[in-house]
Amino acid sequence: MKILILGGFLGSGKTSVLLQLAQYLVQQSSGSSQTRVAIIENEIGQIGIDDKVLRGNGYEVREIFSGCVCCSLNSDLISGIQEIKSTVDPDWLIIEATGVAFPDKIAESLFTNLGLAARVVTIVDASRWQRIRIPLANLIEGQLNDAELILINKTDLVADLELMAVEADLRNLNSDAVIYQISGIKPMDEGLLKEIQHG
């Protein structure tokens, strides 16, 4: 079971990326060897919205609400993954973190508690980066820790110069990550989807 953690600030586009990625993973397979994808949806509020969107697109979703799996609900995540592994045993498990979670802490917990390695993909909203960069620095900088891939989203909403500044800032904060630019107004490039799939 390969595990992918999708992190990033509130409203950065995690659910949209998840939908495209899940669809791609399933479409890549065919016939009897169809790739099975399980989704864990973590939302900070007690009532979920994103899980409804995912279900509305035909996916079964395991939801963990009212807190973050990176801290207060960590035990729920561990037991949820154990249950998914023992019942569904999917090829892929995608965990959509809350917009206030630290994805590296989730990855660390999975490794410590279950011996499972996970890839972290963090999505950044280019149009809001400058606005939240200082007031929420601790949170948004922390969300970039250990990210193998950083997807700069909503690139259609910012000017080229601003986009270059955002990318430079991100490279300073995480020099190891591969950075891609994406936009909600067009589908993600197949090369990027392959990069997420295969690393």
Partner 1 sequence: MAENRIKIRKSTQLSKRKDYQIETTLHQGAVAIAGETVFTGKPFNPLQTIIQEEFAAISRWIVASGGIVGHLKSFLSAAEQQVMISSTGEQVTCRTSPSALFSQGKRSEGIQISIALIVFNIPQMDLEERLIDIFDRLNQEESEESQ
133 binds partner 1 (CB under 8 A): no
d(CA 45, CA 48): 7
Question: Does residue 139 bind partner 1 (CB under 8 A)?
Answer: yes
How far lies 53's CA from each of 43, 48, 49, in Å? 13, 9, 7
Q: Which is nearer to partner 1, 58 or 115 (CB)?
A: 58
**In terms of CB distance, is 43 or 148 closer to partner 1?**
43
* Residues 82-111 close enough to bind partner 1 by CB under 8 A: 98-100
Asked whether position 135 contacts partner 1 by CB under 8 A, the answer is yes
What does the per-residue mask of binding to partner 1 show for 151-190, with x meaning CB under 8 A? ----------------------------------------
Smallest CA-to-CA distance from 69 within 111, 110, 38, 106 is with 106
| Nearest-angstrom CA–CA distance, 143 and 47 | 23
Binding span for partner 1 by CB under 8 A among 20-28, 48-56, 81-89, 145-153: 48-56
* φ, ψ for residue 84, nearest 5 deg: -65, -40
Q: Report in angstroms how near the CB of residue 54 gets to partner 1 at its nearest.
A: 10
> Rounded to whole angstroms, what are the CA distances from 102 to 18, 106, 198?
18, 7, 23
- Do 147 and 7 touch, CB atoms closer than 8 A? yes
Residues in contact with partner 1 by CB under 8 A are 9-11, 43-50, 52-53, 55-58, 66-68, 72, 98-100, 125, 127-128, 131-132, 135-136, 139
